Amino acid sequence: MQEQKAATLATIFSEVLADLAFMFTDDEDFSEVDSSDPWLETKIGYRGAKNGDLIFRCTRSFTKLLASNLLGVDQDQASDEQANDAAKEFMNIVCGQLVTAMHGTDDVYNLTIPAIERMKTSPDLSLDDGDYASTISVENHSVQLVYSPTE
Amino acid sequence: MSRSVLIVDDSATIRQMVKKVMDIAGLNVDEIFEASNGIEALAQLADHEVAVVVVDINMPTMNGIQFLQRMKGNEKLQHIPIVIASTEGSTARIEQMKEFGAVAYIRKPFQPEQLRDALMPLLGVKENAGTKSGNSGDDFF
């Protein structure tokens, strides 16, 4: 069941990434982390008949790549503000899709306002602590999604 | 008749994407106004006449639901067509938006054609070679 939810999460993540930003997941597993590239954590949740939280961890360079694809600008032209906004909106959409995939369309859920902050350390990309975690490689960037149902 | 559009979304990225779609689609809007929440949107509507409002639901300060309620309760604003562009997919939420006066609902991530097809009739734009419609009708109530 847990693996099934992690797979659903990974599928939604990949589909939103492709539909929204024309970015695609890689087959290779990139487990090495560039320590000079700061990691960011974007959080969002949903509240309703059931509750859940989503965390998206990625590097600053990934958020800039995301912003550049969304805005149609060069990656080095995307500001930190634009990159943060892109990451938050991306998670807003992923969360909305996840809610209906997990819980259907009958009940109303309120999404929290996404928040982003810099991580103090690089994440553990082999996370397995009972949450529904999925680490994926996207265009040579490792990114991680963690889903925590809090029913 | 005004052919201006108000985009209400807390994401500057989405506002930029919506503006780009309108530009590429050749909708020939007069002006595009922006707001990052319902409060800012009401201020924009107090200052400008607009033909259509494109609004998100999940926003800080005043969300899209509260904003629609305020518009519906205002005689000067209740006639303005509202297009919802949101990530939410609840059928109950969509019905609620319809009751509050929304005329179309587009779920994020949307394709440019979906937004274009929702806005064209509201802006009085007829389909031509430059604005070929691909709408299946699913985005309209």
ipTM over 0.90: no
Cβ atoms B30, B54 nearer than 8 A: no
- Decide if A92 and B93 are in contact by the 8 Å CB cutoff: no
Report the share of chain A in percent with pLDDT over 90. 61
Asked if pLDDT for residue B137 goes beyond 50, the answer is no
Q: Please provide the distance, in angstroms rounded to a whole number, between the alpha carbons at the two ends of chain B.
A: 24
| Contact residues on chain A for B17, CB-CB shorter than 8 A | 70-71
What's the token pair of residue A31?
A: 């487990």
Quickly tell me which residue has 């979304």 as its tokens: B9
Q: How far is B12 from chain A (nearest CA, A)?
A: 7
In this predicted structure, what is the pLDDT of residue A9? 86
Asked if pLDDT for residue B133 goes beyond 60, the answer is no
Q: Name the DSSP class of B89.
A: -
Angle at A81 between CA A116 and CA A94, to 5 degrees: 45
Q: Could you report the per-residue pLDDT of A29-52, keeping only the tens digit for each?
A: 655 666 689 999 999 999 999 999
Q: Is A38 strand, coil or helix?
A: coil
Q: How far is A132 from chain B (nearest CA, A)?
A: 22
Asked if pLDDT for residue A102 goes beyond 70, the answer is yes
Instruction: Of A87-96, A129-138, B19-28, give the lowest mean pLDDT range.
Output: A129-138
What's the token pair of residue B48?
A: 């400008």
Burial B72-107 (b: 16+ CB within 10 A, else e): eeeeebeebbbbbbbbbbbeebbeebeebbbbbbbb
Edge-to-edge strand list for the sheet holding B32-35 = B32-35, B5-8, B52-55, B82-86, B102-107
Cβ atoms B123, B104 nearer than 8 A: no
What's the token pair of residue A129?
A: 């602590």
| CA–CA distances in Å: residue A84 to residues A108, A126, B33, B102 | 27, 25, 23, 30
Test mutation, A85, A90, A91, chain B, max B CBs within 10 A:
A85
Question: Higher pLDDT residue, B20 or A2?
Answer: B20
| Contact residues on chain A for B107, CB-CB shorter than 8 A | 96
- Decide if A105 and B58 are in contact by the 8 Å CB cutoff: no
CA distance A87 to A66: 7
Q: Which residues contact B141 (CB under 8 A, 6 or more apart)?
A: B98, B102, B103, B104, B105
| Contact residues on chain B for A16, CB-CB shorter than 8 A | 109
Of B11, B60, B91, the CB nearest to A105: B91
Asked if pLDDT for residue B50 goes beyond 90, the answer is yes
Asked if pLDDT for residue A70 goes beyond 60, the answer is yes
Test mutation, A65, A70, A98, A116, chain B, max B CBs within 10 A:
A70
Cβ atoms B109, A19 nearer than 8 A: yes
Which DSSP string do the residues of A57-104 spell out, in sequence order? EEEHHHHHHHHHHHHTS-GGGS-HHHHHHHHHHHHHHHHHHHHHHHH-
| Contact residues on chain A for B109, CB-CB shorter than 8 A | 16, 19-20, 93
Q: How far is A28 from chain B (nearest CA, A)?
A: 26
